[in-house]
């Protein structure tokens, strides 16, 4: 199993500069874990066990208020790393990650990852670049929340995540989940989606959001 993981790690841009022996050592130190839908894989405020790498399934990374309102920062697909910030610092987990569906993942221990950073400067540069990109993404989220309406944020999400004009909605992709990604409440998200459908810009079904007028959507943002 560790040999297979080493090969898969080598195909990920984040680890692609590492040699085979280093990848094999990292894979051998990794711990396989599974999470049921709705189970917390990472808990905000707790010590970080290391870098969490999704093998199958999807995780949502979120911040939540004491009142229970959620804002989803990211939805991670297979072979996307989670908790990179806490894995490379001594700070506790800055956010919570919850499985949206059954998830298989690997935990790459923080000690093993830090050892590679010390021995491979090119990997350390990649980590710094990843951190910088993460900061840019968080800045974009703040700008969206403060400068754009819910409808504009919804349009951007649809345009950014659709493939061939379709945004597929798995079973977990409910209106409340959509609202959490937009930083709003379900009623407001539903109204924004209804507005786009009423203006014949999109067609909405339980399984997908299909773009009918891409140019019209782009004019809104």
Residue 105 has a pLDDT of 94
Strand order in the sheet with 166-168: 166-168, 208-211, 202-204
Considering the entire predicted model, what is its pTM? 0.81
Query: Is domain 2-145 classified as CATH 2.60.120.10?
Result: yes
Spatial separation of the C-alpha atoms in residues 5 and 104, rounded to whole Å:
13
Residue whose tokens read 């810009």: 201
Residue 1 has a pLDDT of 60
From-to residues of CATH 2.60.120.10 in the chain = 2-145
List the pLDDT tens digit at each of the 221 positions of the chain: 667 889 888 888 888 888 899 999 999 999 999 999 999 999 998 988 888 999 999 999 999 877 778 889 889 989 888 887 777 777 888 899 999 999 999 999 988 888 888 888 888 888 888 778 878 888 888 888 888 999 999 999 999 999 999 999 999 999 999 999 999 999 999 999 999 999 999 999 989 999 999 999 999 98
Strand order in the sheet with 96-99: 40-42, 96-99, 59-64, 70-76
23 phi, psi to nearest 5 deg: -65, -40
Q: If you count DSSP H runs as helices and E runs as strands, how many of each does the chain have, helices first?
A: 9, 11
CA 187 vs CA 13, 175, 176, 177, 179: distances in Å: 39, 8, 9, 12, 8
From-to residues of CATH 1.10.10.10 in the chain = 149-220
CATH topology of domain 149-220: Arc Repressor Mutant, subunit A (1.10.10)
Residue 221 has a pLDDT of 84
**Partners of 59 in the β-ladder:** 76, 99
């Amino acid at each position: 199993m560790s040999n297979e993981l080493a090969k898969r790690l080598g195909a990920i841009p984040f680890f692609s500069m590492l040699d085979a022996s280093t990848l094999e050592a990292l894979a051998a130190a990794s711990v396989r874990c599974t999470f049921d839908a709705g189970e917390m894989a990472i808990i905000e405020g707790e010590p970080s066990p290391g870098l969490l790498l999704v093998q199958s399934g999807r995780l949502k990374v979120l911040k939540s208020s004491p009142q229970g309102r959620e804002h989803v920062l990211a939805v991670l697909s297979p072979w996307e790393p989670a908790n990179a910030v806490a894995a490379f610092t001594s700070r506790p987990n800055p956010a919570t990650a919850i499985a949206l569906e059954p998830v298989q993942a690997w935990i790459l221990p923080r000690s093993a990852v830090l050892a590679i950073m010390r021995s491979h400067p090119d990997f350390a540069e990649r980590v710094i670049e990843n951190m910088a990109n993460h900061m840019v993404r968080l800045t974009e989220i703040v700008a969206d929340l403060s400068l754009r309406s819910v409808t504009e944020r919804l349009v951007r999400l649809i345009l950014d995540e659709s493939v061939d004009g379709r945004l597929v909605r798995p079973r977990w992709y409910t209106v409340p989940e959509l609202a959490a990604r937009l930083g709003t409440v379900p009623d407001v998200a539903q109204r924004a989606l209804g507005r786009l459908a009423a203006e014949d810009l999109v067609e909405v079904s339980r399984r997908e959001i299909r773009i009918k007028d891409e140019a019209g959507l782009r004019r809104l943002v």
